[in-house]
Amino acid sequence: MNELFDKVKAILVENLHVDESEIVPGAELINDLGISSLELADLICLCEEEFDITIEDDDIHKFITVEDVVNYLAETTEGK
């Protein structure tokens, strides 16, 4: 789980220029980290590429906090 968190954190820092010190599991992507809806779409695409998965449009609304993204990836990539 920590490995997934570190990968998501790296994506946020390197690609979306989020301040690393602000990225904690409970941080809300939009309210706390200031990610726009366009950047959220970028995050989805980057996660799909990084983890070789497809994230369904219906699942995007589940991504409120960093932890939500990590948990989703953990469930989706389990057994891969």
Give me the pLDDT at residue 18, please. Answer: 97
Domain residues of the chain, as ranges? 2-77
Give me the pLDDT at residue 75, please. Answer: 94
φ and ψ at residue 13, rounded to 5 degrees: -75, -50
The SS3 of residue 65 is strand
- Alpha-carbon distance 78 to 80, whole Å? 6
In three-state form (DSSP H/G/I as H, E/B as E, the rest C), the secondary structure along 10-52 is: HHHHHHHCCCHHHCCCCCECCCCCCCCHHHHHHHHHHHHHHHC
Give me the pLDDT at residue 63, please. Answer: 96
pTM here is: 0.92
pLDDT of 78 higher than 90:
no
**pLDDT tens across 8-58, in order?**
999 999 999 999 999 999 999 999 999 999 999 999 999 999 999 999 999
2-77: which CATH architecture? Orthogonal Bundle (1.10)
